[in-house]
């Protein structure tokens, strides 16, 4: 595995990446040609969002499509493939999007967005959120495009088959990171502004409740702090 720190990273859909060449279409194609001013024979680094980065050379440019020959393929392991961050909709969409972006930069690749009893915002902007994590993946030179799912309630969330870390300011246990080799499926669950309701906390075993700090943190701060501890 090689690390790249001084490159521009682009994205091609997995089905457009073959063994010897790849295709870049749509908005990404227009950005490469119109904004970055790349032309035939230029070198591009492209990820398929599934753990591969391709060093490629532009072979052909048409109106809506770039064809590039693959010169070398780099393979990367998803260190957090069995960790899902369960994030509530926040009243301030900018703070929610900040948390989504920073967690992606820190390597989180699975998100569930849920509504709880104290959730104020009801809007779902999945297309916008997908664009945010795509941009954050490229900016941080990562090769896994995060997956975002939606669930309608906290009850539905806790029925999922996984080991849970539920973050609550008044919990007795303090979270100090995962102590094993990430061999289980983990759900990291964060509350909205004002925290989870007493009814929601009542269905969570006490040994699954954790606090991240002795101080009270905003929801988006707690989410990003937890992601940084995993890294």
pLDDT of the chain, 231 residues: tens digit per residue:
456 678 999 999 999 999 999 999 999 999 999 999 999 999 999 999 999 999 999 999 987 899 999 999 999 999 999 999 999 988 889 999 999 999 999 999 999 999 888 777 678 899 999 999 999 999 999 999 999 999 988 888 888 778 899 999 888 888 887 766 556 889 999 988 888 889 999 999 888 999 998 888 899 999 999 999 887
Say how far apart CA 80 and CA 203 lie, in whole Å. 27
Say what the pLDDT of residue 180 is. Answer: 60
Tell me if 226 sits within 8 A of 167, measured CB to CB.
Answer: yes
CATH superfamily, domain 9-75, is Hypothetical PUA domain-like; domain 1 (2.40.240.20)
Residue 222: what pLDDT? 93
Which distant-in-sequence residues (6+ apart) come within 8 Å of 69 by Cβ?
20, 21, 56, 57, 59
What residues does CATH 3.40.1280.10 cover in the chain? 83-230
pLDDT at 22: 98
pLDDT at position 183: 66
User: Which regions of the chain carry the CATH code 2.40.240.20?
Assistant: 9-75
DSSP state of 207: G
CATH class of 83-230: alpha beta
For residues 156 and 202, the answer to whether their CB atoms sit within 8 Å is no
3-state class (DSSP) for residue 208 = helix
């Amino acid at each position: 595995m090689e690390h790249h720190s001084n490159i521009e990273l682009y994205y091609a859909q997995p089905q457009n990446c073959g063994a010897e060449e790849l295709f870049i279409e749509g908005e990404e194609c227009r950005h490469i040609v119109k904004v970055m001013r790349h032309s035939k024979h230029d070198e591009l680094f492209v990820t398929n969002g599934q753990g591969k980065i391709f060093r490629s050379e532009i072979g052909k440019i048409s109106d809506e499509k770039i064809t590039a020959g693959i010169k070398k393929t780099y393979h990367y392991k998803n260190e957090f493939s069995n960790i899902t961050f369960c994030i509530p909709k926040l009243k301030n969409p900018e703070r929610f999007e900040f948390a989504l972006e920073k967690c992606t930069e820190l390597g989180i690749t699975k998100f569930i967005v849920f509504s709880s009893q104290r959730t104020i915002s009801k809007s779902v902007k999945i297309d916008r959120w997908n664009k945010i994590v795509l941009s954050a993946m490229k900016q941080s030179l990562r090769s896994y495009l995060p997956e975002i799912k939606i669930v309608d309630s906290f009850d539905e969330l806790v029925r999922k088959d996984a080991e849970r870390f539920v973050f609550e300011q008044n919990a007795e246990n303090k979270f100090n990171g995962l102590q094993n080799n990430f061999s289980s499926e983990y759900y990291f669950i964060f509350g909205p502004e004002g925290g989870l309701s007493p009814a929601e906390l009542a269905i969570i075993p006490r040994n699954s409740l954790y606090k991240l700090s002795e101080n009270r943190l905003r929801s988006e701060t707690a989410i990003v702090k937890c992601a940084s501890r995993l890294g």
